[in-house]
Amino acid sequence: MTDPDCLFCKIVAGDVPAEVVHTTERTLAFRDINPQAPLHVLVVPRHHEPNAAASAEADAAVFAEIATAARSVATGAGYDDYRLVFNTGAGVGQTVFHTHCHVLAGRPMGWPPG
Ligand code: 5GP
Ligand code: ZN
């Protein structure tokens, strides 16, 4: 499914520019426009679903591909240690309702996140 009003569908389609750093058959990875760490990349499935669990239900393989693409992005940038975040719901800060995995690395990160 492609949502004509979805920003990340437009990036996947090439209709909105983005700095793409990695691609696979089912995923696209591009730099976040407002980086929160020296490495901040978003890995998105090409197929539109609103959140991580919905993507996993729609196609379990895509979820594995997001995780391995995220590792490739991090290790390719020289980071063996990295954080993956899937915000799910506006109450925890999700603003784009197309599944995306934040790949963050390059600075100390506290836990729990605040
Ligand atoms: P969320 O808050 O939904 O988990 O994450 C959405 C992310 O998308 C944010 O980190 C935000 O900076 C990023 N973002 C929003 N608009 C754009 C855009 O047009 N291009 C890119 N590359 N990132 C965007
Ligand atoms: Zn979408």
- Residue 102 a catalytic site member: no
Report yes or no: 103 and 41 within 8 Å, Cβ to Cβ: yes
Asked, for residue 1, whether it belongs to a domain, the answer is no
CATH of the domain at 84: 3.30.428.10
Return the residue whose CA atom lies nearest to atom 12 of ligand 1. Answer: 34
Specify whether the CB–CB gap between 50 and 99 falls below 8 A: yes
Does the model's pTM come out above 0.75? yes
Q: Is the CB of 20 under 6 A from ligand 1?
A: no
Examine residue 95 and state whether it is found in any structural domain, yes or no. yes
Is the predicted pLDDT of residue 1 greater than 70, yes or no?
no
Q: Residue 50: is its pLDDT beyond 70?
A: yes
Q: Which ligand is nearest to the CA of 40?
A: 1
* Number of domains composing the chain: 1
Distance separating alpha carbons of residues 106 and 40, to the nearest angstrom: 9
- Do 105 and 65 contact (CB within 8 A), yes or no? no
90 lines ligand 1 (CB under 6 A): no
Over residues 92-98, the mean pLDDT reads 97
Cα–Cα distance measured from residue 100 to residue 98, given in angstroms and rounded to the nearest whole number = 6
User: Where in the sequence is the domain holding 15, given as residue range(s)?
Assistant: 7-105
